[in-house]
Homo-oligomer: A and B are copies of this chain.
Amino acid sequence: MHKSPHPHRGRRSRGRRRAEDGTWRVKPPLTPLIEPALLLALRDGTAHGYDLADQIADYLGLKRIDHGNLYRGLRRLEEEGIVTSQWNDGDLGRSKRTYALTDTGESLLETWAEALQFTQERLSALLDSYERKS
């Protein structure tokens, strides 16, 4: 972590790009679901960051989720009192940080669920509207 040239990495643009043959490639918008998925995963029990990455990727149908952002996100959730963590040094393997959901976190998950139901309704309406006259 000192120099990092990063010369010219291809531009990213609103989740879409055109392939060589002119057809479009778009990414299904899933990143806003990562935090809710994470809270949901923790509702079923404690977990480490690395486990959570796998579980969330599985929930969301992603090959992998970005570890850097996940760990940063977890620390932020902890700052906000949504999760708590503690180190497990005694175990075999590299020491891990075990995360658990707080009461505040559970209430946030409930609120997320309501909000996502709204999103789901609107998304369905949008897709219905698309199908209705294609």
Contacts and interface: CB of A to CB of B under 8 A. Distances in A.
Interface of A: 14-16, 22-30, 32-33, 35-37, 40, 43-44, 59-61, 104, 107-109, 111-113, 115-127, 129-130, 133
A46 B98 CA distance: 54
A106 B127 CA distance: 15
A60 to B, nearest CB: 5
A24 to B, nearest CB: 4
Is chain A's binding surface mostly helix, strand, loop or mixed?
helix
A65 to B, nearest CB: 13
Given A107-B24, A111-B24, A130-B113, A123 B123 contact: yes
